[in-house]
């Protein structure tokens, strides 16, 4: 680790659970971030700031004016740019040592499999169940930990599905094919909520990479932002789950 890196990450290195060994693990890590919008903005910013050496950013959308209420990685001057390209500008300014791979299409099939295989941790910041189900299946296939978050209106949730652990529930254990797919464009979302949930996702990814603390595996955190109340629900594997129950 270079002298400037020792200074940049000194507050991590002071932590017994991270220290130089954990920080080096972050520098050596690759994280796949699916979606660079409301949730993906704080995820990408905090992972780059934390020293994750390689971020794979996947988003097929362009920056729109309505995004700027909550998608803090983008700016007014970048309206019309691909979101991954806009995010690259912010992240390079924050931490030029972070290597970025940009993907401007919605991942599916072999391309999705390759991206998941390349990652140490996958962070799901997408906004639709088709992507979430496909990502969960790929993470199951290649035994990659999946950090999942969602936010709508005043409510958010976050959990971890550790596909390296045979006892871990998966995303399909939690949601079946008939789940209601609400969108921010139809239902609205309060701006700071996505920051809270995305920051928790980033923290879980850092913990995985550094082996610090206890993860949210088999726990679902629910946040009611209107009354600022967290609730925790214990998750179990579903024996009839089409992903991990067979």
**Which residues participate in catalysis according to the annotation?**
184
How many Å apart are CA 48 and CA 222, to the nearest integer? 26
In DSSP terms, which residues pair with 155 in a beta bridge? Answer: 152, 224
Where do we find the tokens 């969108």? 183
Where do we find the tokens 């919605």? 106
> Would you give the distance in Å from CA 46 to the centre of its chain?
10
How many Å apart are CA 225 and CA 157, to the nearest integer? 11
Angle, helix 129-142 to helix 109-118, in steps of 10 degrees: 60
CB 169 within 8 A of CB 238: yes
CA atoms 81, 84, 87, 93: torsion sign: negative
């Amino acid at each position: 680790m270079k002298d400037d890196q020792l200074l940049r990450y000194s507050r991590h290195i002071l932590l017994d659970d991270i220290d130089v060994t954990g920080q080096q693990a972050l520098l050596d890590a690759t994280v796949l971030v699916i979606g660079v919008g409301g949730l993906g903005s704080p995820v990408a910013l905090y992972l780059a700031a934390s020293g994750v050496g390689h971020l794979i950013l996947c988003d097929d959308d362009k920056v729109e004016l309505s995004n700027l209420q909550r998608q803090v990685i983008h700016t007014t001057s970048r309206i019309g740019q691909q979101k991954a390209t806009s995010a690259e500008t912010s992240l390079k300014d924050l931490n030029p040592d972070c290597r970025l791979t940009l993907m401007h299409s919605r991942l599916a099939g072999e391309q999705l499999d390759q991206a998941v295989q390349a990652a140490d941790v996958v962070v799901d910041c997408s906004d639709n169940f088709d992507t979430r189900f496909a990502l969960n299946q790929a993470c199951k296939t290649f035994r990659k930990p999946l950090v999942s978050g969602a936010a709508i209106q005043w409510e958010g949730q976050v959990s971890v599905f550790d596909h390296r652990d045979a006892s871990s529930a998966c995303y399909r254990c939690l949601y079946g094919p008939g789940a209601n797919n609400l969108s921010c464009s139809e239902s609205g979302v309060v701006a700071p909520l996505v920051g809270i949930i995305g920051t928790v996702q980033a923290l879980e990814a850092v913990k995985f990479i550094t082996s610090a603390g206890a993860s949210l595996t088999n726990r679902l955190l629910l946040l009611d932002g209107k009354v600022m109340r967290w609730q925790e629900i214990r998750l179990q594997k579903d024996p009839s789950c089409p992903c991990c129950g067979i």
